[in-house]
Amino acid sequence: MAADPSTPKLSSAQIADAKIQRGQGGETHQVAEGDVPVLTTQQGVPVADDQNTLRAGARGPALLEDFHFREKIFHFDHERIPERVVHARGYGAHGFFETTDTLSDVTRADIFQRKGERTPVFVRFSTVAGNKGSADVARDVRGFATKFYTKEGNWDLVGNNIPVFFIQDAIKFPDLIHAAKQEPDRDFPQAQTAHDNFWDFISLSPEAMNMALWIMSDRTIPRSFRFMEGFGVHTFRFVDAKGNSTFVKFHWKPKLGMQSVVWNEALKLNGADPDFHRRDLWDAITTGNFPEWEMGVQLFDEEFARNFDFDVLDATKIIPEEIIPVRRVGRLVLDRMVDNFFAETEQVAFCTQNVVPGIDFTNDPLLQGRNFSYLDTQLKRLGGPNFTHLPINAPKCPFHSFQQDGHMAFRNPKGRANYEPNSWGGEAGGPRESPERGFRSYQETVSGDKLRVRPELFADHYSQARQFYLSQTKIEQTHIKNAFVFELSKVETPAIRARMVSHLLNVDEDLAKMVADGLGLKDLPKAAPPARPVKTDLKPSKALSIIENGPSSFAGRKIGVLVTDGVDAAMLGALQKAAEAEGAMVELVAPKVGGVTMSDGKMMPAKQKVNGGPSVLYDAVAVLVSEEGAKLLSQEATAKDFLNDAYAHAKFIAHVPAAAPLFQKAGLTDMDGGFVALNKAGDAKAFVQACRAVRFWEREAKVHAV
């Protein structure tokens, strides 16, 4: 897509959009110019536009001469020592990528040429906003970064578990993260966006509305890394051997299906086990239940890009899978934990600029800025330019360069030559460039005036947010509404709450009214003026719903079994056998962690003590107690909590007849379809099969009145 060589004229939509972004007019902040100092660079140069990077034409690439952006992102990248500014809390593992479908028809990338070939990978999952010591199940976007050690160098696909982002231009990234992090005067709340600064920024940034719907959905409270999708977010290019380009969006699809926790469960998980996601990945890999994802690609050409309703360079938008299906081309398997967390997971350096021949960038302004930013970040975090010498970052293919010296250099050029071109032949002359094998950028025609402006279609901020909301099941829509009410209820400034509701009116009127009611707003604000008309005819997409893409089995999940002395050995054995056949795991929770004596006199060790193993740790629960054990646990508050939480979180609950006194004490006498009675050994299999639905959602409306 060549940029328009003619001088771009700002449309009324772009002008209106720019006003909204700067908080001018309507329901946004109004500040008289004389009341505030002029924003400048650190050199004191006044800034005319702090919203857009400088680029060649409205849809062209970012320009190296943009000193304001360079200074802003440079300073931001160096704000933390040595903790990452964002994605500080992470956990990683080794594995492999296996090509299952060659892509030689669209790319020369070596990794996609041979079916069945395996490429080593390292994957790091992370939260975005929290500090290194924060809890795992915070409501947050999850990083999904993959380093492929290919035969032609390292390729870093640095994505998230959500396919869109908050902002369209990287120049706003420091502002976004500053707003999301702890407020600087009080240094709290951390790993939480439920505060004034974040929602003030979001409510003044209409471009963030699509992402706002995504982050208030259950996508930001995943049950496990193993049960979440991953996305490359941006539009990239594939380039074939002849130099032809095909646009590509990357997807990761979890083999075990998608699953999230519910909000009350997340709060209790962070108290019960702040390392819940880390422990889950560790347990899965060390027990041989290797997590697996399919890689998929959406491929499209210039004609599609020209005719699509939205700009493919806009990172706040998706291309629905119903329009361009995801072509499955490989599988990712994680099969080995790190030997040392610091040496590998903490020192791994991902850079979006790390691509290999056959994969190239587009002029997405967020991606262009990330290509600047990541290198700065690694320089600061890892102490110098030689972070590529660390084993976790070094390529696994042969590599040669004339780069030398610097802090902590492990390797330097051998011999006389440390420059190129040189006259020295053979080995003494060192490496030489290769026009045949080397990386070549796609030859895109670029022209246009130097501007700080966004393309016309970038100004549609509400249409896909509406599409996302309408694509959710009623249960998920309720969760989104509740999330908005919770987050905004922590905002102390009423005007910010009202401003967010004004944006939601452009997404869905019923949603806006329910959020307003939940916040106790007496008067519904006027809808925020959209820079472009909201498209109301976009079809819902089933691919956007977690519940519609849940698991087909209970494999990879965990059943917590509450047991006491005298537990029926045959019934426990039947449950363990049924779970094993399904690919699920069983953990015993007992009055004493040493275990229990079963009905056959044998001792069975327990994994958790009853007051340290709450039901939030499990996907389903079973109560296998003796009559005496039920009486004992009836006096234990945490045993009653075990049942009440499982009930409130819509989990399936199995029980033996002897458990009746405990259920009565817990107030669970009205048993619905989510309860499964275990009267005979065969009932255990029926219970595990029922658990394939993961939740008995019909119960949720009964246990949450507000």
Q: Is 31 exposed, middle or buried (0-12, 13-18, 19+ CB in 10 A)?
A: exposed
Active site residue 644: no
State the pairing for strand pair 118-127/90-99. Answer: antiparallel
- Catalytic choice (87, 94, 195, 277): 87
Residue 34 CB partners (closer than 8 Å, separation 6+): none
Alpha carbons within 13 A on the beta-carbon side of 694? 20
Please give the structure tokens belonging to residue 241: 């051997």
Active site residue 160: yes
- Secondary structure letter of residue 163 according to DSSP: S
Alpha carbons within 13 A on the beta-carbon side of 252? 29
Q: CA 509 to CA 527: how far, in whole Å?
A: 9
Look at residues 661, 596, 597, 595 and name the one whose alpha carbon lies nearest to residue 630: 661
Q: Is the dihedral of CA 199, 128, 295, 114 positive or negative?
A: positive
Backbone angles phi, psi at 176, to 5 degrees: -60, -50
Please give the structure tokens belonging to residue 128: 């975005």
Given a contact cutoff of 8 angstroms between Cβ atoms, the answer to whether 547 and 476 are in contact is yes
Q: CA 92 to CA 26: how far, in whole Å?
A: 46
Alpha-carbon distances of 374 from 73, 336, 350, 353, 411, rounded to whole Å: 10, 26, 7, 8, 23
Q: CA 15 to CA 13: how far, in whole Å?
A: 5
- Secondary structure letter of residue 353 according to DSSP: T
Q: CA 396 to CA 609: how far, in whole Å?
A: 45
Q: Which residues make beta-bridge pairs with 604?
A: 596
Q: 3-state class of 443 per DSSP?
A: coil
Residue 298 CB partners (closer than 8 Å, separation 6+): 248, 249, 251, 319, 321, 324, 325, 326, 327
Backbone angles phi, psi at 158, to 5 degrees: -100, 90
Look at residues 164, 166, 159 and name the one whose alpha carbon lies nearest to residue 198: 166
Given a contact cutoff of 8 angstroms between Cβ atoms, the answer to whether 451 and 439 are in contact is no
Q: 3-state class of 18 per DSSP?
A: helix
Given a contact cutoff of 8 angstroms between Cβ atoms, the answer to whether 393 and 145 are in contact is no
Given a contact cutoff of 8 angstroms between Cβ atoms, the answer to whether 322 and 93 are in contact is no
- Catalytic choice (154, 160, 363, 371): 160
Catalytic residues: 87, 160
